[in-house]
Structure 1
């Protein structure tokens, strides 16, 4: 009894030590996550190009702020074009560097907005395919002299390798030696102003050269009731990422909570799914079945049958492990066993005696026990060899 108690106490002590070690690992991991979050430097937020809320060099926040000061009714439009109001006119929608081309349904909605008496300013390096605009490739300088419709000259950067091919009724607003840079088209009661120089409006370029004067000449031909900066064309209509919806500290806290919950479940020994297997899956080939068969053979004095079953299992094992054919009789395989086993030449005597016992009509308990041990020793040798 006492040795058993000592063994149980040692197992319990080991379990407590393992749990304590796991707890300290969790504490160290949490401290590492917290320190990493506190001391990792904040990286500047990245914005797509031509976004009205972007203070980066490629954003247009400076011009958005200027328009808001001038008109007051300036908003960001981040919904689909089908929700644009068609009542009244005198509204300006600015598409600055759209990141994709609208599909035909969306394009029809924009055209309907134009035909209601509103204006769209489209500034894209190659607006070909939008609103029926056609462009032509050109070879030009990045900086050069351009002229407006009144004949006044300006200096501006020109990064686009395309110029607009104006239709018959289009009005060319700005051009250079390579072709038209800004064109005005009519859609019902409204106007479409298209330009291939969106870089004029970026934060880094708005005050360079004569960019501001050129942009104002395209946008301030009248007093607008409402000015929209189209952010839908920059992908703002898509579902926001989880890092945008929630602050970083909340995401870190949620991650720690999930990690702690997982470790707590493992610590408590929780299992997901079936824990107890059906009885028929475990009892069929268990020790309980073997013991019941052994007791049945003993009560019926069926020692010969038990010995034959044990020998038959040994022959199957010989075929599986050593490749000795199962269908051969015992006397026919003694040479192969002599080469495989440690008994060597003595194996022939063992085989002859075993064959003699298996052919007897009656086997005593003493004989059964003696031969059962000898067969079992050979079985272990086969399994280990």
Structure 2
């Protein structure tokens, strides 16, 4: 085998190994979905019903924005299936949207806050989930279904019963302004795992039909959010004015010949200035024999670090400081801090503190302060 053939063989093997490794590493894992999500194929998802809806009507869309940005227009419908964390303010915004001439379909097992739409609920005592006969306002013959909820809708003058069993009303519709709000207490009947059980599909499907221009499916309250851009909160005229002002400012700066970039300080100045300053200060302290004063500056810096890192005020005792250090550091590091504090205390009592001791104590303080600076 020639060298060229060997090279091609090695190259082919390397490419094959790379592809196999990529497939193994990038192999997609099964995605997990929240319950009642319209595109979830799981038993607790609602993909089956939503795909059938998509086949029967063209204008079916997902809604992933806050209720403050509900779509403009009328003759629209929005479906909420077991919405999570639906706030009172959001319910008010939804009802205002309904008043304009839209329909709201809510599937919620334990609803709250829909009293303004004449859709209050009460608890049924001693309830057991089992198959029951269900009457429908749109079907000539009753069907059978199993409702998991122990709540029933209260009868009201402005509420039209849609589904009922022996325990009470399972679904009702009320008119709000120019639109309607329909509340169903059986969201599980829409799930992939239960839609074909009993007569769930036959009982629910007629109420999902209507002459709507758009049928929205709420996914915002399932955690799938499409937040509006930051510019959405500003009016168009303000955005246009700011854009023109920015362009004019850039042209003005360019016309003035301004350059962009950092301003560099000459290295010769910083190096010379830094070295000369340190030497001058150190020689001044040495001539004046201010070793203890220099140590006090080091101590003040140490106390400041303790306050910044651990919140210890300057009046904290050495014993308390060591106790806190033992909870953050190793025993060896805490012991070094304790030794440094003891050396500082001894220096305060010594009337003849020498430069030699200052050097030794400074080295010890260097280790402690460097450790504190890493916190």
Q: Normalised by the shorter chain, which TM-score bucket?
A: 0.5 to 0.7
Pair 79,238 (structure 1): closer, same or farther in 2 beyond 3 Å = closer
Map of 2:222 onto structure 1: 234
Distance across 2 between alignment mates of 1:158 and 1:213: 15
Map of 1:122 onto structure 2: 106
Does the residue aligned with 2:181 lie in a helix, a strand or coil?
strand
Map of 1:54 onto structure 2: 40
RMSD: 3.9
1:1-385 equivalences in 2 (<5 Å): 38-39=24-25, 42-89=28-75, 91-104=76-89, 106-130=90-114, 132=116, 133-138=119-124, 139-145=126-132, 146-149=134-137, 152-220=141-209, 222-237=210-225, 278-279=274-275, 283=279
Pair 109,288 (structure 1): closer, same or farther in 2 beyond 3 Å = closer
Does the residue aligned with 1:53 lie in a helix, a strand or coil?
coil
Unaligned runs of 5+ residues in structure 1 are 1-33, 241-273, 294-318, 328-375, 377-385
Map of 1:308 onto structure 2: none
Distance across 1 between alignment mates of 2:185 and 2:346: 84
Q: 1:81-128, CA deviations, whole angstroms, 9 ceiling, x for partnerless residues?
A: 343344332x22111110122332x33332222222221110001112
8 Å contact kept, 2:173–2:180: yes
Distance across 1 between alignment mates of 2:200 and 2:31: 27
8 Å contact kept, 1:184–1:192: yes
Q: CA deviation at 1:193?
A: 0.8
8 Å contact kept, 2:158–2:174: yes
Unaligned runs of 5+ residues in structure 2 are 1-19, 229-269, 289-342, 357-375
Does the residue aligned with 1:62 lie in a helix, a strand or coil?
helix
8 Å contact kept, 1:173–1:183: yes
8 Å contact kept, 2:130–2:147: yes
Pair 144,320 (structure 1): closer, same or farther in 2 beyond 3 Å = closer
Map of 2:323 onto structure 1: none
The two structures have a TM-score, normalised by structure 2, of: 0.53
Distance across 2 between alignment mates of 1:70 and 1:100: 31
Distance across 1 between alignment mates of 2:101 and 2:61: 19
Distance across 1 between alignment mates of 2:97 and 2:285: 84
Distance across 1 between alignment mates of 2:188 and 2:122: 19
Distance across 2 between alignment mates of 1:239 and 1:200: 30
Distance across 2 between alignment mates of 1:103 and 1:321: 63
Distance across 1 between alignment mates of 2:85 and 2:189: 20
Q: CA deviation at 1:131?
A: 5.5
8 Å contact kept, 1:144–1:157: yes
The two structures have a TM-score, normalised by structure 1, of: 0.52
User: Whose radius of gyration is greater, 1 or 2?
Assistant: 1
Q: 1:276-299, CA deviations, whole angstroms, 9 ceiling, x for partnerless residues?
A: 994478547979997x99xxxxxx
8 Å contact kept, 1:71–1:224: no
8 Å contact kept, 1:283–1:289: no
Pair 164,66 (structure 1): closer, same or farther in 2 beyond 3 Å = same
Does the residue aligned with 2:169 lie in a helix, a strand or coil?
strand
Q: CA deviation at 1:238?
A: 6.1
Q: CA deviation at 1:161?
A: 2.1
Distance across 1 between alignment mates of 2:131 and 2:179: 31
Q: CA deviation at 1:326?
A: 6.8
Distance across 1 between alignment mates of 2:218 and 2:346: 80
Q: 1:305-327, CA deviations, whole angstroms, 9 ceiling, x for partnerless residues?
A: xxxxxxxxxxxxxx99999x978
